Amino acid sequence: MTAITRINAVKDQTAILSARNLKAWYGESQALHGIDLDIHSGETVALLGRNGAGKTTTLKSITGLMDRRSGEIKIGGKDISRLPLHHIARHGLGFVPEERGIFSGLTVQENLLLPPIVAEGGHTVEEIYALFPNLKERRHSQGTSLSGGEQQMLAIARILRTGIRILLLDEPTEGLAPVIVDRIGDVIIALRKRGITIILVEQNFRFAQRVAERYYVIEHGQVLDQFSAAELPGRQDWLSDVLGV
Ligand SMILES: Nc1ncnc2c1ncn2[C@@H]1O[C@H](COP(=O)(O)OP(=O)(O)OP(=O)(O)O)[C@@H](O)[C@H]1O
């Protein structure tokens, strides 16, 4: 074993979530061409890349939402690649999709109580209302009456009740006003302090910079590079080129 493979082996052991050679297809069209990820317990990681690079497909592949997918996905060292979606949640993984999925005919509280608890240690309703006071105020309002920001917070809040330890967020700030984006950032930082591992897909680079400790850059369904927040200043020009911003 060379020094580098030994370092990688040590890193792999500590990864709470890892993906190896993840490939995925929409029909005959291949969207992922062998993604490798190692996400460590408690870190917040952002997936960056241009439109169509494969970020959302990566999250959907991890959560078992792609019909056609190959490769290996492990949570806490256990292979979950072949488990159905509802079993994956029992391994502590929660996904908040871009469309948020709030039930418009239910109240805030009913939406909050809907997903089943899958593991011990989830947030209580009181803890959730302390983290999201605006949801407490609006607990009897119908889902239809919520703003985009409130919907995003409710989508995050109701997953936290289930006891998940790894949260996948797809474009959490999409379409939200700057003041609400700041609030979502506060929530993500609060969750990190509680030890939740977060992987987020984000087009808003300024937001990603505020919350992420590490980045993966994805292009054409492959990982182009990964680096820490501390390494970001040295990568800024390269990143602007890759992201086209
Ligand atoms: N439902 C779908 N059917 C067919 N092709 C799809 C579908 N969703 C995504 N694709 C294709 O898969 C590739 C990866 O898309 P993906 O949505 O993962 O990219 P992304 O990096 O998340 O970009 P965006 O920010 O635009 O969502 C793209 O070429 C896209 O056109």
Give residue 6's pLDDT band: very low, low, confident or very high (50, 70, 90): very low
Ligand 1: atom nearest CA of 170 is 22
| CA–CA distance, 166 with 202 (Å, rounded to integer) | 17
Q: What b-and-e string marks burial along 5-21, b requiring 16 or more CB atoms within 10 Å of the CB?
A: eeeeeeeeeebbbbbbe
Does 4 map to a domain? no
Nearest CA to ligand 1 atom 16: 54
Q: How does pLDDT run across 198-235, given as a tens digit for each residue?
A: 999 998 888 999 999 999 999 999 999 999 999 999 99
**Residue 57 Cα, ligand 1 centroid: separation in angstroms?**
6
Residue scoring higher pLDDT (68 or 14): 68
Of 48, 50, 56, 201, the residue with max ligand 1 atoms within 8 A of its CB, to mutate for a pocket test, comes to 56
Contact 23, 32 (CB under 8 A): yes
Mean pLDDT, range 227-245, rounded to an integer: 91
Question: What is the residue range of 222's domain?
Answer: 40-68+81-243
| Residue 230, domain CATH | 3.40.50.300
Q: How does pLDDT run across 87-141, given as a tens digit for each residue?
A: 888 888 988 888 888 888 899 999 999 988 888 888 999 999 998 999 999 999 9
pTM: 0.89
Ligand 1: atom nearest CA of 218 is 21
Nearest CA to ligand 1 atom 3: 26
Q: How does pLDDT run across 170-183, given as a tens digit for each residue?
A: 999 998 989 889 98
Does 103 map to a domain? yes
Confidence (pLDDT) at 118: 83
Does 209 map to a domain? yes
Does 107 map to a domain? yes
Write down the mean pLDDT value for the chain: 89
Nearest CA to ligand 1 atom 6: 26
**Residue 56 Cα, ligand 1 centroid: separation in angstroms?**
7
Does 217 map to a domain? yes
What angle, rounded to 10 degrees, do the helices at 178-193 and 148-160 form?
Answer: 10
Does 221 map to a domain? yes
Supply 237's token pair.
Answer: 């020009």
Nearest CA to ligand 1 atom 2: 26
Q: How many domains does the chain have?
A: 1
Does 168 map to a domain? yes
Of 50, 51, 68, 203, the residue with max ligand 1 atoms within 8 A of its CB, to mutate for a pocket test, comes to 51
Does 18 map to a domain? no
